[in-house]
Amino acid sequence: MKFQRSTLLLLFLAVSFTGAVYFYEVNVVPSQEAAQENQKQIFTFQEEQVKSFVLTTKERTLRFQRGAIAESREPGEPLWIMEVIETTPNPVETPETTETTETTETAPATPAIPATYPANEAYVAFLLNELVRGKSERVLSATPQQIRDYGLENPQATIDITLRTGETYQLVVGNRDFTGSNLYAQVDPRRGSLIAQPVLLLSTNLENAVDRPLEEWIQTPEESIEQNRIVPEPLPQEGENQQPPIPDPSQEPEPIEPE
């Protein structure tokens, strides 16, 4: 049985088209989806790659340094160490002059700078989670004037990240958008640039992660105990008996006389 030349040509084209569709679905589509997913992410590094980061807000500047390794740390040893680099002292209010003499209250003393504390592991993990797994559903192209309007020229928070490899990244957090449900943010902004720059719209969870009182960043002893609840029993010191003493058989108990 002989096939006509046109039939063979159509069969060849059908096989080629099927192969091209299969190659596109198997190779091209997944790579495109992965590229789009990476574009939505704020950063592409992993949490365990972060060596340290500096959180700067309008109230203070804090440096977080990775301490012990989670797999080998001793009970009570902090995973993160926080250093207070700079903090804004509480302003002293000047009481108005009145006819009666009132007792003025002095503001609390500013803590010594720098000061080092064990960092609250839960809040550090929450912030790093927002940085590593946070995504932007939309990217804007903002002019220099819009950068100022979005609060990115005088941001509410700046996070400078250093990886174990020495690479550095910066995230600048600005105001909320007009809906109040997103934050304007920039990754490694080009300060002083006259051209439009990309601006991310991020979740307000990031605002909750960076805006908290200083005392909440400090790990309390109770929280340290809670996070290290499973503590191995201390080994007996040298010379201590690990078993209850065995009674001496030579010492017989005194007989009990019947009443």
- Tens digits of residue pLDDT in 111-163: 556 689 999 999 999 999 999 999 998 999 999 999 999 999 999 999 999 99
* Separation between Cα atoms, residue 191 and residue 193, nearest integer Å: 6
> pLDDT digit string (tens) for 36-69?
444 588 999 999 999 999 999 999 999 999 986 6
Token pair, residue 60, equals: 């203070």
Which residue's structure tokens are 């997944």? 30
Q: So what's the pLDDT on residue 221? A: 74
* Separation between Cα atoms, residue 151 and residue 185, nearest integer Å: 9
